Structure 1
């Protein structure tokens, strides 16, 4: 049984965001160290550039959905944080953490409940969940179906890269196209999120008479990919790998997206399992690779 808590759950404020970033960095690093397989190198703490992106992203969610962002405080200060948002009747959890050392005190459940209340009118829900059994239990009890995730990683065999055509640089002029693709794959558009994502990451777009799609890339690989059909999604993923680092990763792959597994294996990447895509009121989107926060 959890210990009783004296923590207070309150709405997040703009001046909370920097401290919340440090709390989540500490919490996720502890989780990754605890859950990482022995064969993998020890996870590194969140680097400075990702900390800045986390802060920008959370300020964005706080500005667009203040009722979805909460913190927990006790006499020692901030001990928990959650950020969530609604987009066209789809609720998504962007981040959720309790400070290591404060877990098991009954803080996490009411903190998540505050965020879930923000999505009470939404038809669908999405969470990128870790492999932590406690987190999986919480999401399942909240009514989410747990879909195991996979990822592919390794040294990319560049001799396997095909010639990729019909992929161009994207811009905010493509938001209407991307929103249309998202409504088709996940049932809801991102709208205001594209302005931030396009500022953080590189955008690739493919728009032909036979299919359309887009992908966001950072310096480590593809962050998100969505398309109207698997052929277009495959084309975009190959383009992302071609422009990415030698040590490639394709993350957040569900069983509904075997096209991404085929691409990764063709590039000689190894397949692994990690975490869940937790969904409520919807099936796993396809062809689709989600981001951990923008989902």
Structure 2
């Protein structure tokens, strides 16, 4: 029976995540990085499915999921969160079928900006994306440091963090910061993060002014956004200071290569570049000197 690309259902998401994990680990092991991915509850996938079902597709081979494509839209931005095919089926043309479904979603939603984050060393996929009009913009580095190594390097932060609480969330201000940093409001994604019990959200303040926001989960920092790029280094330092108070063994973040101050701050705090990612898009967008993504799927 031929492989059928069909809309994803909620009960597909666990099996789809297994495909994603297996595909990532096959790639990273083959490139000498070892296994990087592990299974997690597909909470954001489920959120996206409920929000916009047209954005999630599976490749179904007689009941077996062999590929998965997932994209989301915020305003003018369409973002390809994941497109993966089972390692033993990657020569069967399934990726092309899935990417056609994904780009049809972008056209359906009328999103003029199309983007994704992929592994820098995933040259086959990059060729596929370039054929569809998405071009490399800059690297995004996963950086990490053991918490006990970070602590002695911390200085008193120049900016302060204030917890986002359910009864006092400044969505209008968060939207303004998002528009400054990435070009679109992401209110629905703030609502998702603030409903995640494993994640803490904060606004970032310089005196009485709210200048940004950050989310921290299990020692991982991101997304982080500020309304001016000259604030990103101080905002990152404040987030590192808070994360270092946890009992997590390591502190990590995704830092765009477009932000020299943020990369310098990461190195000055003893963080190491663990692996490189790449932002691709059909045109430049946002101010990536002011933004750290959460991960390659959330952006």
TM-score of the pair, normalised by structure 2: 0.86
**SS class of match (2:71):** strand
CA 1:171 to 1:95, structure 2 compared with 1: closer, same or farther past 3 Å?
Answer: farther
How far the C-alpha of 1:275 sits from its partner, in A, is 2.2
* 2:78 is equivalent to residue 87 of structure 1: no
Unpaired stretches in structure 2, ≥5 consecutive residues: none
Q: Does 1:171 align with 2:175?
A: no
Q: CA deviation at 1:287?
A: 0.9
CA contact (8 A) 2:232 2:289 kept: no
> Residues 7 and 73 of structure 1 are in contact (CA less than 8 Å); yes or no, is this contact kept in structure 2?
yes
**What is the CA–CA distance in structure 1 between the aligned matches of 2:106 and 2:237, rounded to whole Å?**
35
What's the counterpart of residue 139 of structure 2?
148
Matched, 1:218 2:222: no
Corresponding position of 1:250:
253
Following superposition, which runs of at least 4 residues in structure 1 exceed 4 angstroms of deviation?
Answer: none
8 Å contact 1:93–1:127 — kept in the other structure?
A: yes
Indicate which of 119, 128, 133 corresponds to 2:117. Answer: 128
User: Residue 272 of structure 1: CA displacement?
Assistant: 5.4
In structure 2, the CA distance between the partners of 1:222 and 1:148, relative to structure 1 (3 Å rule), is same
Alignment root-mean-square deviation, CA: 2.1
Shift of 1:279: 1.7
Q: Deviations over 1:159-186 (max 9, x none)?
A: 2212124221123513222111111111
State the partner residue of 1:187: 183
Q: What is the rounded CA distance, in whole Å, between the counterparts of 1:138 and 1:239 in structure 2?
A: 39
Give the gaps of 5 or more residues in structure 1.
Answer: none
Contact 1:221 1:248 in 2 (8 A): yes
Counterpart CA distance in 2 for 1:217 and 1:153 is: 14
